[in-house]
């Protein structure tokens, strides 16, 4: 930890700029006064878990901040926080006067990208916050879905499915944000165009209706397809649903007699690594 965060304060120039040119070198971590740092207005996270914050406050009180914040110089003086919102809040709750930080001169869209990536890599955004972050990249910086997917290490279908959640009524978006229903359930709801049926299905999901049951229910009353629809064994469907929730990706079980196979999909190298870690656990 000593090599990561030097014990001696790094000097700043009189104009407030860092003393070294490369802000990513480990010996260029600056200790900046908390009062000089303003929160990131482009922070994608809206909800901060009280339990998670309490744990972080206690950890910082005992060990200090082990991972530097990332800040950007402001034209009017001081700094704007790019990444490390939770650590910054916890530092203030602990009454810290200074925090370790890397100083980076970045553009507005890089600030949003860095804040999104940091949240996704450290403590997951809830699905609605994640979808809203993707939409901001598209609206504010004219990214298309393919560009957003590439930036975030996702597949385009994953990004498209996340964006569908934003079309839901506010009550349903809040239910997803607070974990009352899953993002998978939200995608099923987004596919129901009749608002009364959508609300009825939403209420049933709140009472415990599974995603698979919701998918079947959402098909009721729709014109029959030309091809015969195969109804999967409810037992297998339930296993698929649980695996999807645990692995956070599409899972398909194909069974023939007493044998079969489980197909687990991934859409990037990052997702493959996460799947490996989850399965090995």
pLDDT per residue as tens digits for the range 86-135? 888 888 888 888 888 888 887 777 776 776 666 655 555 788 988 888 88
pTM: 0.53
- By CB neighbour count within 10 A (0-12 exposed, 13-18 middle, 19+ buried), where does 7 fall? exposed
Give yes or no for residue 254 having a pLDDT over 90: no
Just list the catalytic residues. Answer: 85
Do the bridges between strand 37-38 and strand 79-83 make them parallel or antiparallel, or are there none, so unpaired? Answer: parallel
Query: In the numeric block, which tokens belong to residue 132?
Result: 């809203």
Measuring CA to CA, which residue among 133, 128, 195 is closest to residue 166?
A: 128
Please say whether the beta carbons of 83 and 113 come within 8 A.
no
Query: In the numeric block, which tokens belong to residue 45?
Result: 């996270």
C-alpha–C-alpha distance, residues 112 and 85, integer Å: 13
Measuring CA to CA, which residue among 110, 97, 160, 89 is closest to residue 130?
A: 160
pLDDT per residue as tens digits for the range 214-251? 777 776 655 544 544 556 677 787 788 788 878 878 88
Phi, psi (5° rounding) for residue 260? 170, -165
CATH number belonging to the domain at 26-106, selected among 3.40.50.300, 3.90.1530.30, 3.30.70.1060, 3.40.1830.10: 3.90.1530.30
Alpha helices in the chain (DSSP H): 50-63, 85-93, 108-122, 127-141, 145-152, 156-164, 170-177, 183-190, 195-206, 211-219, 234-247, 269-280
Q: Where are the domains of the chain?
A: 26-106, 235-281
Q: What is the pLDDT of residue 201?
A: 92
């Amino acid at each position: 930890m000593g090599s990561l965060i030097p014990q001696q304060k790094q000097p700043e120039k009189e104009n407030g700029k860092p003393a070294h040119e490369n802000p990513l070198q480990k010996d260029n971590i600056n200790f900046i006064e908390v009062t000089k740092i303003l929160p990131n207005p482009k922070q994608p996270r809206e909800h901060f878990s009280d339990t998670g914050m309490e744990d972080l406050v206690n950890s910082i009180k005992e060990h200090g901040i082990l991972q530097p914040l990332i800040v950007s110089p402001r034209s009017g003086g001081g700094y704007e926080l790019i990444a490390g919102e939770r650590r910054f809040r916890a530092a203030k709750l602990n009454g810290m006067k200074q925090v370790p930080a890397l100083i980076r001169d970045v553009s507005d869209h890089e600030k949003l990208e860095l804040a999104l990536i940091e949240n996704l890599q450290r403590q997951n955004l809830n699905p609605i916050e994640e979808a809203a972050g993707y939409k901001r990249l598209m609206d504010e910086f004219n990214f298309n879905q393919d560009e957003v997917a590439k930036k975030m290490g996702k597949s385009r279908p994953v990004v498209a499915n996340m964006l569908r959640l934003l079309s839901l009524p506010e009550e349903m978006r809040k239910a997803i944000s607070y974990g009352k229903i899953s993002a998978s359930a939200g995608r099923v709801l987004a596919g129901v165009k009749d608002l009364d049926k959508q609300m009825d299905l939403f209420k049933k999901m709140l009472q415990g209706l599974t995603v698979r049951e919701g998918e079947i229910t959402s098909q009721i009353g729709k014109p029959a397809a030309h091809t015969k629809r195969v109804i999967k064994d409810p037992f297998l469907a339930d296993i698929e649903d649980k695996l999807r929730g645990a692995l956070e990706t599409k899972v398909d079980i194909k069974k023939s007699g007493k044998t079969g196979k489980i197909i687990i999909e991934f859409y990037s190298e990052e997702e493959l690594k996460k799947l490996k870690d989850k399965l090995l656990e």
